[in-house]
Amino acid sequence: MSETAVSTVQQHAPPSSFIRKHIFSLDHKVIGKQYYALALVAVFMGMVLSWLMRIHLVWPNAPIPGLQFLSKAGAPGGVMTPEYYLSLLTMHGTLMVFFVLTNAPFAAFGNYFLPIQIGAEDMAFPRFNMMSFWTTFLAFCILVTAFFIPDGPPISGWTAYATLSAVGPDSGPGEGLGQTLWGLSIFVFCIASLLGSLNFIATTLDLRTKGMTLARMPICTWAWFITSCIALLAFAVLMPACLLLILDRVAGTSFFIPAGLVISDHLQPHSGGSPLLWQHLFWFFGHPEVYIAILPAMGIVSHILINSMRRPLLSHKVIIYCMMAIGFLSYMVWGHHMFVSGMNPFSSLVFSFPTLMITIPATIMTLIWLGSLYGSRLRISAASLFALGFLSMFVSGGVSGFFLAQPSIDIYLHATYFVVGHFHMVMGVAAIFGIFAGTYFWFPKMTGHMMSESLGKLHFWLTFIGTYCIFMPFHYLGLAGNVRRYSAFVDDFLVPLIPVHRFITFAALFTGAVQLIFLYNLIHSRFRGAPAPANPWECTSLEWTMPSPPPFDNFGGKHPVVYHDPYQYGVKSSTGDYLMQDSPEQAQT
């Protein structure tokens, strides 16, 4: 790629109207904030759903005041029905995986900071960018509509396995219009995601400023770039899958439905289809999707840790190669979700090897993070605490993956709370900690105000301890064989485990309440926080060269010139112990 400075593809003049400035904006910074706001709404919705689920599990016959207003059929008198539990479970998973974990670390922070960190004025295609966000918003609205139709949201989980999800209303409540709305929402989400990935890739490859070679991009930029490559291919497979599912449901086709099924006393008029085909298509997307969720968080945490440690990582090139390796391997492992699914058992063994191999780059990254801490000058802040918390959670979650990667062990642990504990630790905690770390780190830049550090630290301690209390016990329950996706525990071997569930529920409600501290901090600081200087963390990347918040056109019409890699820390310079990327000054030895 040439080193010449390039201006943006399609420059746009500063907007003047309110609508152009804040609603239909072409500015990547506004779009990034819009994605963040959407993710914030989705995460609070998802969290409330999880409270409702946890309460029902422990007190299944107790009325939950007000629930009957959300759904008369699903919770008559406030007492949740088993099908409504499954509806809430489905919506919880869908909201969290798609609208929080794909949106916030990737679309929100990536949109805001990728162009700036490479020295560009905006994304390559600002109009596509605006379309991406509003298409995501449309997908969100379609999904949420499922709450308000009479039959309610679907009950097949975020994984929507056929034939439960494919035959229509015969298979259960919520499997009529609700499931179709789900399919439509995800289809639309795929379009948005593809447009977004296209933008990220083109921007990273072509809009880097002078001196910003690929090697000089910050790790988080690399993470967003690799994630967008993964997302491009993954969502391109989910779209056809959703289309075929919708056709089975409404057009009478039989892609996923075999012959001879009797559901609700009706002999189903389909034949010849394969439920396993849905699983293959879905997980071919689904496994890369979870790496889409974690990779940006790895990048953000790396970036913040380096800044907080005041020294570069032992090798940031190795970290980047590991992220690439993880991205590449993520396409080879999807069958590990299907070890006991009825697919050829030889395939299970084949899938287990790349699954185990992913441990290698993940371990290298962990060892490099840990090793870099040694001998550093670590500054403790809310952001760095969450980054350290990420490390802890990533280890915890990763370690349980080691069990599940082995098909023979998976025979016992599949579909138990062990799996639920594993993915919540890596996605529901580690990736979320990445989002928190990014928020505390970048809030001053994005809003021009500092967040309250003491509230942030309090938020960290309570959340760190709280999430361990919630999700570690899931693993123990799994070892006891506690089956997942049950709306109540009535089996002989499950009843004795209910006290553990009670502990988890209290921990969950407590930790959920703690998030209000974060919300308060966010809102209060936005309006009343101390004014933020341009570079409060003494960080080297390009976003810290501009005022907080940045001007409309980022670099004021000039193109920055980059002289250094992004991790000139622990050096002697006129600014202190670091050198900005665009500073022509060389480190004094």
Partner 1 sequence: MATVVQPPEHKHEDPSPAQQHTGGGGFGSFVPTGGPLKTLGDPSQEATRTGIWVGLAAITMSFAAFTSALLVRQTTGSDWRHLTVPPIVFANTIVLLASSVTLEIARRRLAAYARHESADRAAPLRWLITTLLLGLLFVAGQYAAWAKLRAEGLYLASNPNSSFFYVLTAVHALHVLGGLGGLLRVVAKLRNPVFSLRKSTMDATSYYWHFMGILWLYVLFVMWIKL
Partner 2 sequence: MGKLFAIVITVIALACAVPIITHHWFWSDISFAPPEDISTHGHAIDDQMSDTMVEAGLSFLAAQILLGIFVWKSADRKKDAEIKTFPGGAQLMVIAALVLVGTEILALGVLGQKAWANVYFKAAAPDALQVQAQAGQFAFYFRYPGADGKFGATHPDKIDEGNSNFFGLDPANDLESRDDIVTGELAIPVDREVHLMMHAKDVGHSFYVRELRIQQDFVPGLDLAVHFTATKVGKYEIVCTQLCGLGHYNMKAYLNVLSQADFDAWMKQKASEQ
Per CB under 8 A, contacts with partner 1 among 195-224 are 197-199, 201-203, 205-207, 210
Fill in the per-residue mask, 291 to 330: x = in contact with partner 1 (CB under 8 A), - = not in contact. ----------------------------------------
E strand or H helix that includes residue 577: strand 576-578
Enumerate residues 150-189 that contact partner 2 by CB under 8 A. Answer: 155-157, 161-164, 167, 171-173
Of 352, 452, 535, 568, the one binding partner 1 by CB under 8 A: 535
Q: Among the candidate windows 18-26, 193-201, 326-334, 404-412, which touches partner 2 by CB under 8 A?
A: 404-412
Interface positions, 536-565, toward partner 1 (CB under 8 A): 536, 538, 544-546, 556, 558-559, 561, 563
User: 106: closest CA among 208, 205, 207, 223?
Assistant: 223
CA trace torsion 444, 446, 447, 450 (10° rounding): -10
Cα-based angle 109, 110, 116 (whole degrees, multiple of 5): 100
State the nearest-atom distance from the C-beta of 197 to partner 2, in Å.
30
Listing DSSP states for 44-76 in one string gives HHHHHHHHHHHHHHHSTTS--TTHHHH-TTTSG
Site for partner 2 contains 227 (CB under 8 A)? no
Q: Contact between 352 and partner 1 (CB under 8 A)?
A: no
Residue 561 binds which entry of partner 2, partner 1, none, with Cβ cut-offs from 5 to 8 Å by kind?
partner 1
Segment 471 to 490, residues that bind partner 2, using CB under 8 A = 472-473, 476-477, 479-481, 483-490
Cβ proximity of 395 and 467 under 8 Å: no
145 contacts partner 2 (rule: CB under 8 A): no
Of the candidates 7, 14, 493, 519, which one interacts with partner 2 according to CB under 8 A? 493
Positions in 475-534 near partner 1 (CB under 8 A): 533-534
230 touches partner 1 by CB under 8 A: no
Amino acid at site 448: G
Number of other residues whose CB lies within 10 A of the CB of residue 282:
25
Task: Give the footprint of partner 1 on residues 239-258 (CB under 8 A).
Answer: 239-241, 243-244, 247, 251-255, 258
User: How buried is residue 1: exposed, middle or buried, by Cβ count under 10 Å (0-12/13-18/19+)?
Assistant: exposed
Residue pointed to by tokens 């940006």: 296
Residue 382 · residue 456 · CB < 8 Å? yes
Q: Which of 272, 371, 496, 499 binds partner 1 (CB under 8 A)?
A: 272
CA pair distance 274, 259, nearest whole angstrom: 10
392 contributes a contact to partner 2 by CB under 8 A: yes
Which 293-332 positions form the footprint of partner 2 (CB under 8 A)?
309-311, 313-315, 318
Q: How far is CA 285 from CA 141, 199, 237, 516, in A?
A: 23, 20, 6, 34
Footprint of partner 2 on 368-387 (CB under 8 A) = 368, 370-380, 385
Residue closer to partner 2 by CB (options 32, 275) is 275
Nearest to 548 by CA among 111, 116, 193, 164: 116
Say which entry of partner 2, partner 1, none residue 538 contacts (CB below 5 to 8 A, set by partner kind): partner 1
Distance (Å, whole) CA 314 – CA 307: 14
